[in-house]
Structure 1
């Protein structure tokens, strides 16, 4: 059962719909806060999907058994219901899902926001383990990844800049949920992107104060796709929720227009 947040409709200016894919611990709500209304107001058909087991959507199996391939299938199901192949826009783990989707599906373009790198999320996990060895070990043993984000301070460290208002961090912390351990392993080692299989143009964007992926990793991802990364100063990992989110949305809009979309 698909669960979507659907805003706007296609127009003569923007005949291609946009599908937004959320990252780990998040759900479609992270796009509804700012991005869906922004793009709908500019004549786009903007759709955000709740991946299985996220938001109010049940999983067909235990959440911890859901794989990246399952999530790619969710995006494909959304695309198949649209009149034309959509632009796919993914954040964090959603960026990995977009990359895997584009390996086998045709799309006019893709956008990666603070995405899992082409080399996988191992670097991120190791950095987290060095900072909080006991918490990461306990989380791995219990398969309870949400325990890593059990305080607003932890949420800020991973997802937001040092200057993001406390209320923004608190609202996000209240809505985070458990993530699949199988999908985490896929993103670290088992199901990494294969850039040579992807032909769609990509916009690769990163955040200067990202607590998950380094700017060096973002640049390496862009090089793998024969493009240049765009890094947004003073911004944390959750680029669509940070106070400066309009600068990110405006850049995506301008890039889509430049590509005739």
Structure 2
């Protein structure tokens, strides 16, 4: 009996290991055949045309328009007293959507900036257009490109986390001629595996295993004591974890593989003025690696004191936003 149990246990573990290895092979093959230039030439948005949701709100300082059009959710804040003609385009990161920028969108509207936040396909209010497991950075980049092209002039591009990676990809593959780029606790410049994998494995080993089995990054935001989701905000955050966590959605795993050599290498030189912001207490994208990445791009660098990963929701979100505003003014963005 005991020998049979050992045999079946060995068979089960072997099958699981084989499945995980096959998944890794599939992922690497998918990335090896990717051609970012070809992806960007493709019409990616295949959602039904038309507006399916429209909501407007007003305050003394701004108007807010929330739409879902052609399958893409957008939240736009327009100041009543506009001081700057250049819009700010905000790109969210993994699991998030356009909603994550709310606190900053309000502040920037009060300071005279027009801001545009959108949700990638399969995130928040945007329609799912391909299985999450097949969503790659070049696929997401095509939608970011489309959002930039909707605007009347080149925007300030602001990206958080994976959105910061997409900002780097935008500058390399689409155009290094923006008024400015602001990277908020972004993925590192060179390799997420080298500078983030060990922190992730030690922070949430169960989540990593579940992620590899399911081929979905959703387990990383599960409700559990050791869940990696706790890296997003600290105990004093303006948006507490219990309010944030239910809003988080599914996410691809393959995107984290793609932001590594040989599939990704950062440009050696960037002409667009760049501001890099790191969370001082970010447990996964630690400040030391963020500082090194900022130095590669010769970016100006700010550390959000005592902040974890979601800098725009932390206790000092206003001070960090003020720093961005002041920096943009110094860059003569108008």
Identify whether the pair has TM-score above 0.5, normalized to the shorter chain: yes
Partner of 2:133: 64
> What SS does the corresponding residue of 1:240 show, helix, strand or coil?
helix
Indicate which of 234, 243, 255 corresponds to 1:161: 234
> Which residues in structure 2 correspond to 1:109-188 (within 5 Å)?
109-122=180-193, 123-151=195-223, 153=225, 154=227, 157-164=230-237, 168-188=240-260
Q: Which runs of 5+ in 2 are unaligned?
A: 1-69
Partner of 1:39: 108
Partner of 2:298: 226
CA-CA distance at 1:253 after TM superposition: 0.5
Q: Which has the higher contact order (CA 8 A, sep 6+)?
A: 1
CA distance in 1, matches of 2:105, 2:178: 20
> What SS does the corresponding residue of 2:259 show, helix, strand or coil?
helix
Tell whether the 8 Å contact from 2:294 to 2:301 is kept in structure 1 after alignment.
yes
Partner of 1:245: 317
CA-CA distance at 1:212 after TM superposition: 2.1
CA distance in 2, matches of 1:73, 1:109: 20
CA distance in 1, matches of 2:230, 2:129: 32
Partner of 2:97: 27
TM-score normalized by the length of structure 1? 0.92
CA distance in 1, matches of 2:139, 2:318: 31
Indicate which of 73, 76, 97 corresponds to 1:6: 76
Radius of gyration: which is bigger? 2
Q: Which runs of 5+ in 1 are unaligned?
A: none
Q: Find out whether 1:94 has 2:163 as its counterpart.
A: yes
Q: What RMSD over aligned residues (CA atoms) do the two structures have, in Å?
A: 2.0
CA-CA distance at 1:141 after TM superposition: 1.4
Tell whether the 8 Å contact from 1:10 to 1:17 is kept in structure 2 after alignment.
no
**Greater percentage in strand:** 2
